[in-house]
Amino acid sequence: MSYVEINTKRKKGKISKYIYGQFAEHLGRCIYEGLYVGEDSEIPNINGMRCDVVNALKELDIPVLRWPGGCFADDYHWRDGIGDKKDRPYMVNTNWGGVVENNHFGTHEYFELCRQLGCETYINGNVGSGTVQEMRDWIEYMTFDGNSPLANERRKNGHDEPFKVSFFGVGNENWGCGGCMTPEYYSDLYRRFQTFIRNYGENKIYKIACGANSDDTNWTETVLKKSGQFMDGISWHNYTFEDSWQNRGMSDDFDENGWYNNLVDVERMRKRLSEHIAIMDVCDPKGETDLIVDEWGNWYDCIPGTNPGFLYQQNTMRDAVTGMIILHMFHAANRRVKMANIAQMVNVLQAMVLTEGEKMTVTPTYHLFKMMKGHQDGELLDTFYDGKSYEVKGFSVPKISISASEKDGIVTISAANTRLDKDEELEISLDREFSEVSALVLTSENMCDCNTFDEPEKVKPIPLAAELCGDKLKLTIPKMSIAAITLK
């Protein structure tokens, strides 16, 4: 039995809804096939966006969608993706499988997708192979309301009103695929490029500088010191199994070691996150720059027989459990982490949705995001868990990862049982009485179970028994499961 105390009077800051953000890149079958099939497809679609996928994603209340990359962003020239589709030039997607990109999904299609999903926009600009002029023109094309050649071109292409750009990223991974730059060089470029990200009319753009990869705190420190005053946020990327690049293991075929190694990687990420925040606290003691974790997730070997450049993998309870721990990590770091974008939304890495032709299925990670919805913009609550943990490879892994928040008088609690061998009884004490409880659990018989096109509902949430007596709540979190509890 584990004990938990939740103090609803001790609020610990808002959990930004943007932590539940998504990312869609021109990579493999994320955009094409996964989200966009074109108006002439036999797959039911609205303006080219497949209805089954959009309808499923709408259930997640996605706050923001990052696009067009990723590495693709620093190879992307926005002018290739506007105007009549038959006139749009083709390009080679050199980063991802060397396939030919027809640019049928471009700026207008992205805004249409965000409109259908009901989410805000986060566009990543091209610093690596683009120019300042190209970037400034894109902003004017999208957001200027007046009478300028660029705004009129947007109108000619079918959009009279300016688009709303909420967030703009100045380059992606410019230490690697975005130009192999040093942090000093990038910082200077950042200062120059960001000058031309202008706010037209009502559109106020939140500027995000390219940040570090995993443990590279020197990048974070240098960029913040040299250019911190010109940015609203700085990004950070962290994938699991990054340290075993050559042999990450399969997403749907692993043993107990594969399960626990993933948990160790999550704890390594926790350490790295706190190191980055510590550096930020030194360089920016007033807390004026946010940390934007705009790529995170589990990265395994691709499914055999698929294009290795397409990063197509399956998704199991392991992804749901580790995903919940990482989201809890972001909750706990809410004073700095203001946005996060899991990689990626459809058919790539730790996806929400998988498709094959006209078929689709949602993944355990999709259920995780759906079950966690109640936390979006909730106030984090002081939560004490009696701290039972176990050691793997020198890291202390919690048996139960738990987080609680409150919004509009409703308390949401999420909990993950990280063990493969033992259910855990929880006794939760609250500091006020509640009269209604509802709980869901996501678990499966075997750790490698996943949803396939033939068995799309193998892993899905079911009700969880919970005993509420005023200010006491008792429930059992089954081994390798995640649970979400709502109290009113």
Q: Give the residue numbers marked as catalytic.
A: 173, 295
Specify whether the CB–CB gap between 408 and 486 falls below 8 A. Answer: no
- C-alpha to C-alpha distances, 6 to 29, 398, 400, 404, nearest whole angstrom: 43, 17, 15, 7
Q: Does 343 bind ligand AHR (CB under 6 A)?
A: yes
Min CB(343)–ligand AHR separation in Å: 4
Min CB(302)–ligand AHR separation in Å: 12
Q: How far apart are CA 234 and CA 170, in angstroms?
A: 10
Options 36-44, 63-71, 371-379, 451-459: segment touching ligand AHR (CB under 6 A): 63-71
Kindly write out the interface string for residues 6-45 of this chain, putting x where it contacts ligand AHR by CB under 6 A and - elsewhere.
Answer: -------------------x--------------------
Query: Which position's Cβ is nearest ligand AHR?
Result: 70
Min CB(121)–ligand AHR separation in Å: 18
Q: How far apart are CA 432 and CA 415, in angstroms?
A: 20
Q: Which is nearer to ligand AHR, 265 or 295 (CB)?
A: 295
Contact with ligand AHR (CB under 6 A): which of 70, 169, 211, 323? 70
Q: Which is nearer to ligand AHR, 292 or 464 (CB)?
A: 292
Near ligand AHR in 399-458, by CB under 6 A = none
* Residues near 401 by beta carbon (within 8 Å), at least 6 away in sequence: 324, 325, 328, 415, 416, 418
Specify whether the CB–CB gap between 380 and 13 falls below 8 A. Answer: yes
The 8-class DSSP code of residue 215 comes to T
Options 6-14, 64-72, 326-334, 359-367: segment touching ligand AHR (CB under 6 A): 64-72
Options 11-19, 97-105, 342-350, 362-370: segment touching ligand AHR (CB under 6 A): 342-350
Min CB(433)–ligand AHR separation in Å: 46
* Torsion of the alpha carbons at 281, 284, 285 and 286, rounded to the nearest 10: -130
Q: Does 295 bind ligand AHR (CB under 6 A)?
A: yes
Q: Does 127 bind ligand AHR (CB under 6 A)?
A: no
The 8-class DSSP code of residue 406 comes to E
Q: How far apart are CA 319 and CA 177, in angstroms?
A: 26
Indicate the helix (H) or strand (E) that contains 51.
Answer: helix 51-58
Q: Does 211 bind ligand AHR (CB under 6 A)?
A: no
Q: Which is nearer to ligand AHR, 141 or 300 (CB)?
A: 300
Q: Does 139 bind ligand AHR (CB under 6 A)?
A: no
Min CB(484)–ligand AHR separation in Å: 27
Q: Which is nearer to ligand AHR, 143 or 347 (CB)?
A: 347
Q: Which is nearer to ligand AHR, 350 or 476 (CB)?
A: 350
- C-alpha to C-alpha distances, 448 to 67, 244, 260, 283, 480, nearest whole angstrom: 31, 20, 13, 43, 11
Specify whether the CB–CB gap between 488 and 440 falls below 8 A. Answer: no
Contact with ligand AHR (CB under 6 A): which of 69, 81, 130, 233? 69
Strands (E), 193-303: 206-213, 233-240, 290-298
* Residues near 274 by beta carbon (within 8 Å), at least 6 away in sequence: 333
Residues pairing with 486 in the sheet = 412, 438
Min CB(124)–ligand AHR separation in Å: 9
The 8-class DSSP code of residue 160 comes to -
Contact with ligand AHR (CB under 6 A): which of 93, 126, 143, 172? 172
For residue 70, cis peptide bond before it (omega within 30 degrees of 0): yes
Q: Does 170 bind ligand AHR (CB under 6 A)?
A: no
Kindly write out the interface string for residues 223-262 of this chain, putting x where it contacts ligand AHR by CB under 6 A and - elsewhere.
Answer: ----------------------------------------
Near ligand AHR in 71-110, by CB under 6 A = 71
- Long-range contacts from 178-182, C-beta under 8 angstroms, 24+ separation: 178/71, 178/73, 178/74, 178/127, 178/128, 178/210, 179/74, 179/127, 179/128, 179/129
- Please count the residues of this chain forming the interface with ligand AHR, following the rule CB under 6 A: 10
Residues that bind ligand AHR (CB under 6 A): 25, 69-71, 172-173, 295, 343-344, 349
